[in-house]
């Protein structure tokens, strides 16, 4: 009964969505405000309908209805309540429904805004968003039905969620990633509506500014949470392995970041209108492409879903949206002329354009690295693996160039800048920035790449702080406010600018951690017995005891107790684990001691069996990696400041 109800409402939602698209098109052709209003209300109806569908699925998951194939595949009786609820997005059918629910939420929310100034955009926004929603609903209805029943006698228990997905980070990571992916549909819909209606001004950018910022926030947060999950669960001592599915999420982030920078040029100078359209089209289609890669089964990854029949449908939809969008852009090309010209190669708009080219360069490297194994398999029959060394060597200098631009661009002026004016603005922050590599060198770091990286990081931080100080001092003198009040009012009245500066600081804080772990990580692997010691990077790890026991949920847990000391002083204990679930699936939980300076990361390996007399450990020393997570916290603060509402657009 309940599965039939859930599926029936899902089908009804698809029909309502198609009605909204159809009546919006017909209403626009007849210039009928009543029909367009009907389309808007139909779109609003999709959210409560999909909420009912989602509520039915969650009820089935929580109450162990194993006669439903999806419930059987992602839950079992030993899972806690919160995991049964989050199993909603733990498999392919549920995650597609979750995607559709989010898209319905966003589309419904945007249709509630005041449309007085933008009435001509409304039907086309409904059409673009509605077609996208209908596509995802059709995947659920015809291919990946989350309410499909198991024929015959239902199982007495389910298989349960993959152990790798039971980490707290995976409870938050997929929703954050989906929020970022789905939210980019809104600026894309407005961009296409602007092309169709011939709106060549920047109104569509201003309407969607916060949608874009929030989409970028959640996409960034999804990437960081995925990195944290990889660091905590996969047990390989790192956080980013250039896995194809990781790259699939990175690619729209690259174009989305470029878009956020280039829209400021259009708003300030009336330039790059063609470029901004290209970037938002690329971002939307890269979202679809990344979803295609993870759900089609063409990639082998710990992040990817199993083989599925929906791959060809994604491929067709990506082709349809891309070709249609580019066709519209070509049709309106002449109408999107720049209002001004670029007069200086050192102006802020020129440096922002260079920033865009750097992001697109990383995109090209990433895209080629992902598709090359697929092309190799298609044309030669053998799949070639593209590993981290390729990406790191190709993108490392480009990331360095981006960090340099973060330090230089804030000091350049709109319209015109010269080497002399930039030099006059940058020499003081640059002088302070040189203290960082000098300190690093005196501390024993002689790697020239690291010294260069720390110099760039210090330059960005000093320039950014200098901009805060200069702006607050000028305001304080003008308004007779004390410095702290002036600084607060400065940020409050220029949230987008100064929130962006805080985001820049967050990025270079993360860069500190990346430099540390990428250039200075060391590791060792050894079999030892209880009461033996492993030494690495000045740390002594004393193996105290081994516990093996069965958890109440049926897991067989093997846990080692290790005392960590440095220079003869006890500094803490860690307990790496190796869990085996009742269905035989293993999960490695590393033991980590983390400080601002470094992490000691210990993995209990189960390659050859574990006994107190011979226990295999792998130990990593990860310098500065905690700054990756600190930077992510600062990033959230920056984006909240930049995106916080000031007034209604």
Residue partners of 334: CB distance under 8 A and separation at least 6: none
Is pLDDT of 153 > 70? yes
Q: Closest Cα partner for 513 from 423, 429, 630? A: 630
In angstroms, the CA 480 to CA 457 distance is 34
HSE-up (13 A, CA, CB side) for residue 550 = 4
Of 7-16, 147-156, 474-483, give the lowest mean pLDDT range.
474-483
Q: What are phi and psi of 276, to 5 degrees?
A: -65, -40
The tens digit of pLDDT for each residue in 490-514 reads 888 888 889 999 999 999 999 999 9
Cβ-based neighbour number of residue 309 at 10 Å: 12
Give the per-residue pLDDT at 294: 78
Give the per-residue pLDDT at 398: 96
- DSSP for 330-346, please give it: HHTGGGG--SS----TT
Give the per-residue pLDDT at 117: 84
In the predicted model, what is the mean pLDDT of residues 229-243?
88
Give the per-residue pLDDT at 308: 60
Give yes or no for a contact between 39 and 126, defined as CB atoms under 8 angstroms apart. Answer: yes
Give the per-residue pLDDT at 47: 97
Q: How far apart are the first and last CA of the chain?
A: 46
Give the per-residue pLDDT at 58: 97
Give the pLDDT band of residue 648 (cuts 50, 70, 90): very low
Residue partners of 15: CB distance under 8 A and separation at least 6: none
Is pLDDT of 391 > 80? yes
Is pLDDT of 14 > 90? yes
Residues in the chain: 649
Sheet holding 591-594, edge to edge: 522-528, 615-623, 598-604, 591-594
Give yes or no for a contact between 341 and 350, defined as CB atoms under 8 angstroms apart. Answer: no
Give the per-residue pLDDT at 298: 55
Q: Is 109 helix (H, G, I), strand (E, B) or coil?
A: helix
DSSP 148: P
Give the per-residue pLDDT at 297: 54
Q: Is 70 helix (H, G, I), strand (E, B) or coil?
A: helix
Give the per-residue pLDDT at 299: 55
Give the per-residue pLDDT at 296: 61
Question: Which residue in the block uniquely carries the two structure tokens 């990696």?
Answer: 625
CA 166 from chain centre, in angstroms, equals 19
Give the per-residue pLDDT at 362: 97
Give the per-residue pLDDT at 587: 84
* Nearest-5° Cα angle at 175, 171 to 178: 150
Of 2-11, 32-41, 96-105, 411-420, give the lowest mean pLDDT range.
411-420
In angstroms, the CA 50 to CA 48 distance is 6
CA-CA-CA-CA dihedral for 291, 297, 302, 305, to nearest 10: 70
Q: Which has more confidence, 243 or 599?
A: 599
Is pLDDT of 300 > 80? no
Is pLDDT of 343 > 60? yes
In the predicted model, what is the mean pLDDT of residues 608-614?
75
In angstroms, the CA 505 to CA 573 distance is 33
Give the per-residue pLDDT at 607: 57
* pTM, entire model: 0.92
Give the pLDDT band of residue 647 (cuts 50, 70, 90): low
The H-assigned helical ranges of 559-625 are none
Question: Which residue in the block uniquely carries the two structure tokens 């990781």?
Answer: 246
DSSP 622: E
Per residue, the 3-state secondary structure of 437-501, as one string, reads HHHHHHCCCCCHHHHHHHHHHHHHHHHHHHHHHHHHHHHHHHHCCCHHHHHHHHHHHCHHHHHHH
HSE-up (13 A, CA, CB side) for residue 235 = 19
Is pLDDT of 304 > 70? no
HSE-up (13 A, CA, CB side) for residue 225 = 21
Q: Classify residue 239 as left (phi > 0), alpha (psi -120 to 50) or beta.
A: alpha
Is pLDDT of 40 > 80? yes
Mean pLDDT of the chain: 90
In the predicted model, what is the mean pLDDT of residues 296-305?
50
Is pLDDT of 110 > 50? yes
- Read off the tokens for 413: 């002026």
Can you name the residues that pair with 572 across neighbouring β-strands?
Answer: 564
Tell me what percent of the residues of the chain surpass a pLDDT of 90.
61
Tell me what percent of the residues of the chain surpass a pLDDT of 70.
96
Give the per-residue pLDDT at 525: 93
Give the pLDDT band of residue 454 (cuts 50, 70, 90): very high
Give the per-residue pLDDT at 193: 96
In angstroms, the CA 613 to CA 241 distance is 33
In angstroms, the CA 387 to CA 390 distance is 6
Give the pLDDT band of residue 564 (cuts 50, 70, 90): very high
Is pLDDT of 585 > 50? yes
Give the pLDDT band of residue 363 (cuts 50, 70, 90): very high
The tens digit of pLDDT for each residue in 173-217 reads 889 999 999 999 999 999 999 999 998 888 899 899 889 988 998
CA-CA-CA-CA dihedral for 294, 298, 300, 303, to nearest 10: 0
Is pLDDT of 247 > 60? yes
Give the pLDDT band of residue 233 (cuts 50, 70, 90): confident
The tens digit of pLDDT for each residue in 308-326 reads 678 888 889 999 999 999 9
Is pLDDT of 305 > 80? no
State which H helix or E strand residue 556 sits in.
strand 556-566
Can you name the residues that pair with 547 across neighbouring β-strands?
Answer: 559
């Amino acid at each position: 009964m309940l599965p039939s109800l859930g599926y029936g409402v899902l089908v009804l939602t698809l029909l309502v969505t198609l009605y909204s698209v159809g009546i919006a098109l017909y209403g626009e052709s007849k210039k009928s405000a009543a029909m367009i209003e009907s389309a808007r209300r139909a779109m609003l109806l999709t959210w409560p309908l999909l909420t009912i569908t989602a509520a039915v699925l969650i009820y089935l998951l929580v109450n162990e209805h194993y006669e439903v194939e999806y419930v059987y595949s992602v839950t079992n009786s030993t899972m806690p309540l919160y995991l049964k609820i989050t199993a909603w997005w733990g498999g392919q059918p549920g995650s597609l429904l979750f995607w559709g629910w989010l898209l319905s939420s966003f589309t419904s929310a945007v249709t509630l805004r005041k449309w007085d100034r933008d009435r001509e955009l409304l039907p086309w926004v409904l059409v673009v968003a509605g077609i996208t929603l209908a596509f995802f609903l059709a995947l659920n209805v015809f291919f990946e039905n989350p309410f499909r029943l198991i024929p015959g006698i239902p199982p007495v228990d389910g298989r349960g969620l993959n152990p790798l997905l039971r980490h707290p980070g995976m409870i938050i990571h997929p929703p954050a990633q989906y929020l970022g992916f789905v939210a980019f549909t809104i600026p894309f819909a407005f961009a296409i509506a602007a092309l169709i209606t011939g709106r060549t001004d920047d109104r569509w950018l201003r309407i969607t500014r916060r949608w874009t910022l929030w989409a970028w926030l959640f996409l960034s947060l999804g990437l960081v949470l995925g990195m944290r999950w990889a660091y905590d669960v996969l047990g390989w001592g790192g956080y980013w392995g250039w896995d194809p599915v990781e790259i699939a999420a990175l690619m729209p982030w690259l174009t989305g970041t470029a878009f956020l920078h280039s829209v400021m040029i259009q708003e300030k100078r009336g330039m790059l209108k063609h470029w901004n359209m290209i970037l938002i089209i690329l971002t939307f289609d890269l979202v679809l492409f990344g979803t295609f890669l993870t759900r089609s089964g063409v990639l082998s990854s710990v992040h990817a879903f199993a083989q599925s029949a929906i791959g060809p449908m994604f491929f067709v939809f990506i082709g349809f949206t891309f070709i249609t969008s580019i066709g519209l852009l070509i049709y309106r090309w002449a109408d999107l002329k720049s209002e001004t010209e670029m007069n200086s190669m050192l102006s802020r708009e020129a440096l922002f354009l260079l920033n865009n080219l750097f992001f697109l360069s990383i995109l090209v490297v990433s895209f080629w690295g992902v598709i090359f194994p697929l092309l190799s398999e298609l044309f030669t029959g053998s799949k070639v693996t593209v590993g981290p060394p390729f990406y790191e060597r190709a993108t490392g200098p480009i990331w360095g160039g981006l960090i340099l631009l973060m330090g230089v661009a804030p000091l350049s002026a709109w319209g015109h800048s010269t080497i002399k004016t930039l030099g006059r603005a940058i020499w003081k922050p640059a002088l302070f920035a040189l203290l960082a590599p000098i300190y690093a060198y005196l501390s024993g770091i002689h790697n020239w790449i690291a010294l260069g990286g720390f110099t760039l990081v210090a330059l960005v931080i000093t320039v950014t702080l200098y901009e805060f100080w200069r702006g607050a001092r000028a305001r304080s003198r003008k308004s007779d406010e004390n410095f702290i009040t002036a600084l607060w009012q400065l940020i409050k009245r220029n949230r987008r600018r100064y929130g962006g500066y805080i985001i820049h600081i967050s990025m270079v804080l993360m860069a500190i951690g990346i430099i540390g772990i990428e250039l200075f990580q060391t590791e060792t692997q050894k079999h030892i017995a209880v009461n033996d010691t492993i030494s690495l990077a000045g740390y002594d790890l004393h193996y105290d005891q081994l516990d093996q026991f069965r958890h109440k949920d049926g897991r067989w847990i093997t846990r080692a107790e290790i005392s960590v000391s440095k220079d003869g002083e006890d500094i803490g204990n860690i307990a790496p684990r190796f869990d085996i679930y009742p269905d035989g699936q293993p999960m490695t939980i590393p033991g980590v001691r983390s400080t601002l300076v470094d992490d000691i990361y210990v993995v209990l390996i189960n390659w050859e069996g574990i006994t107190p007399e011979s226990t295999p450990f792998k130990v990593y020393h990860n310098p500065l990696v905690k700054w990756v997570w600190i930077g992510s916290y600062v990033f959230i603060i920056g984006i909240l400041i930049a995106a916080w509402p000031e007034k209604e657009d």
